[in-house]
Structure 1
């Protein structure tokens, strides 16, 4: 009959074997994790590049269609009439300058035609600003509103 010590030794061997297996699995994960991360990153880069290539191919197709349109003389004539306002000899061209309705034109705000007198002399304000900026050591964020000076009117 096996003694209790032999039974404990058998259990110990099983736990050592389990510990070694867990260690190998952990070492494998540690070794393979950067490689798997790199693989996933490369796959996402490849997917992004394929999407970019597909977008560029669609752009090339649309540009080829545009070039094909310019081979048609009727399209060229329509573009010349529309963009450059060309007409055939004997035709009369009309250009509409203001296409707003009369209601929209009448409701546009008209600025007042009166002149307003300034409350301060601009020359003295500019001179005092120049002097203050040259003589101060404070930064620009510390300046508030300019000081009010009494000027004779």
Structure 2
């Protein structure tokens, strides 16, 4: 009989254990949406804090720019550069083509010699017209394939 007693001892589950497990599961079910909402709000707060930091940096840059405009020498330099202002008696020169010599030298210059074309364009156009008008195939079958001359 000792074998039957050990078998029943292993299968004993108390009602208290079932109630505790049920309450824990119910707690998870109830708290899961709230925890998800909490995490979402934390992400939103972090994004807003980053946005505030960026705006504060922008405000500081604008304040620095405003402080520059309090300097009369800066105002004079801006008037000369942007508006082309000069003092009476001064001569102003405006350079119209201010590209660097490197940019002008790098421009492609067309060749002075005539080149013979590899194909006759008129016959290629006529062949394309005939193929397009006399074929029963869809246009997608011709994509990327040049027509063959006849």
TM-score w.r.t. structure 2 length?
A: 0.66
CA contact (8 A) 2:128 2:147 kept: no
Structure 2 counterparts to residues 1-150 of structure 1, below 5 A: 12=12, 15-94=14-93, 95=95, 97-100=98-101, 110-133=109-132, 137-140=137-140, 142-149=142-149
- Describe the SS at the equivalent of 2:20: helix
TM-score w.r.t. structure 1 length?
A: 0.65
Structure 1 runs not aligned, ≥5 long:
none
Q: How many residues align?
A: 141
Moved over 6 A (4+): 104-109
Structure 2 runs not aligned, ≥5 long:
none
Deviations 1:59-107 (A, max 9, x none): 1332243244334432222123234444333334454835447xx9778
CA deviation after TM superposition for structure 1 residue 33, in Å:
0.7
Indicate the structure whose relative CO is greater, using CA pairs within 8 Å and at least 6 residues apart.
2
